[in-house]
Amino acid sequence: MYLQKRGRINRKSEAIRSLVAETHLMPQNFIAPLFIEEGKDITHEIPSMPGYFRKSLDLQIPDIRAMYQLGIKSILLFVKSDDALKDNTGKESWNDNGLMQKSIKAIKDAVPEILIMTDVALDPYSSYGHDGIVKNGEIVNDETVEALIKMSLSHAKAGADFVAPSDMMDGRIGAIRKALEENSFTNTGIMSYSAKYASCFYGPFRDALDSAPGFGDKKTYQMNPANRIEAVREALLDEEEGADMVMVKPALSYLDIIREVKNAVHIPVSAYQVSGEYAMIKAAAIHGWMDEEKAMMESLLSIKRAGANMIATYFAQPAALILNK
């Protein structure tokens, strides 16, 4: 057979495959999401996320130190709020002595070089489990943005490097940026969850924080999985409003969106490999149906190849261990 071009030449050995590889994963591309709960010496495995734990701060801090040593230099904090502290205003979220604020300070003290990002949305603090304030069954936009501003300022004051609004309210990035400026937090970044879809893949996360919506769903604020152009619009708006980076979430079912957004904006793009994506790989591995390590690395590589500069992932630690081998 005469062939002018043979694609297999560039695949014939490990040496040539690694020479022509277009995408490389590095531990510093990962953002590790962490679940924190009140107390001491507490570690709870999340039933729908085997191998992933919600921990009290004293146990979380040594982990964070270990992660930094592995090359994971960014963390994204979530806290589980006590039911007694939840209400419809979400006011616990801007309590300067709240669990989030205490955690930011303690982590900064213990591991000052780590980049701390914090989730900004009302759901863990809301008696309705919604990301915003509820009035007559509606999640009201403008009042919620006021609450998110207070929450962001309180995180910035505690020492957060980045606030990460995950609520999908309109206008919140511009409003938070303005408030940060006006309050002299000129070094605080904003990672906007710009294209966050109303996805069933968040199920295990809501188990982890006990934050499932008490009524209805999140479709009036999170995006319709059918839409692509809208994601680009949301990302461009957030860039214009002052976001330092934008995010697409979930990741694996939305690789096309990651690419579209990457091609449209002029700031870094992150993607969130969410709890349900982690759970799927874990579940298949536990049944012996897939090789866990390979599925983990292939999914992360695909997300990077799609255009994500960085990836928030529950696999940050095991993936970094493999990359450092």
Active site residues: 196, 249
* C-alpha span between 111 and 321 (Å, rounded): 20
* C-alpha span between 320 and 315 (Å, rounded): 8
Minimum gap (Å) between residue 211 Cβ and ligand PBG: 7
Q: What's the token pair of residue 45? A: 């495995």
Minimum gap (Å) between residue 311 Cβ and ligand PBG: 12
205 is a contact residue toward ligand PBG (CB under 6 A):
yes
Minimum gap (Å) between residue 282 Cβ and ligand PBG: 13
The residue among 71 and 203 lying less far from ligand PBG, judged by its C-beta, is: 203
Q: Which residues contact 303 (CB under 8 A, 6 or more apart)?
A: 251, 252, 255, 258, 271, 273, 311
Stretch in the footprint of ligand PBG (CB under 6 A) among 91-99, 117-125, 225-233, 317-325: 117-125
Q: Which residue is it, tokens 């079912």? A: 253
The residue among 19 and 215 lying less far from ligand PBG, judged by its C-beta, is: 215
* Whether the Cβ atoms of residue 145 and residue 175 lie closer than 8 Å to each other: yes
- Of 86, 66, 83, 88, nearest in space to 75 by CA: 66
The residue among 63 and 65 lying less far from ligand PBG, judged by its C-beta, is: 63
Peptide bond connecting 250 to the previous residue in cis, omega within 30 degrees of 0: yes
Residues numbered 244 to 283 that lie near ligand PBG (CB under 6 A) are 274-275
166 is a contact residue toward ligand PBG (CB under 6 A):
yes
48 is a contact residue toward ligand PBG (CB under 6 A):
no
Minimum gap (Å) between residue 40 Cβ and ligand PBG: 26
* C-alpha span between 213 and 86 (Å, rounded): 13
Beta-strand relationship, 138-140 and 133-135: antiparallel
Stretch in the footprint of ligand PBG (CB under 6 A) among 91-99, 109-117, 202-210, 286-294: 202-210
- Of the residues 25, 107, 121, 149, which one makes contact with ligand PBG according to CB under 6 A: 121
Minimum gap (Å) between residue 302 Cβ and ligand PBG: 17
- Of 129, 130, 75, nearest in space to 107 by CA: 75
- Of the residues 37, 92, 131, 239, which one makes contact with ligand PBG according to CB under 6 A: 131
Residues numbered 212 to 241 that lie near ligand PBG (CB under 6 A) are 218
Binding-site size for ligand PBG (CB under 6 A) equals 12
The residue among 53 and 110 lying less far from ligand PBG, judged by its C-beta, is: 53
User: DSSP secondary structure string, 57-102?
Assistant: HHHHHHHHHHHHHHT--EEEEEEPPPGGG-BSS-GGGG-TTSHHHH
The residue among 131 and 238 lying less far from ligand PBG, judged by its C-beta, is: 131
* C-alpha span between 86 and 93 (Å, rounded): 9
- Of the residues 92, 123, 239, 260, which one makes contact with ligand PBG according to CB under 6 A: 123
202 is a contact residue toward ligand PBG (CB under 6 A):
yes
DSSP run (H or E) holding 150: helix 141-158
* C-alpha span between 46 and 74 (Å, rounded): 22
Residues numbered 1 to 20 that lie near ligand PBG (CB under 6 A) are none
Minimum gap (Å) between residue 243 Cβ and ligand PBG: 16
* C-alpha span between 268 and 170 (Å, rounded): 21
* Whether the Cβ atoms of residue 222 and residue 130 lie closer than 8 Å to each other: no
Q: Which spans of this chain sit near ligand PBG (rule: CB under 6 A)? A: 119, 121, 123, 131, 166-167, 202, 205-206, 218, 274-275
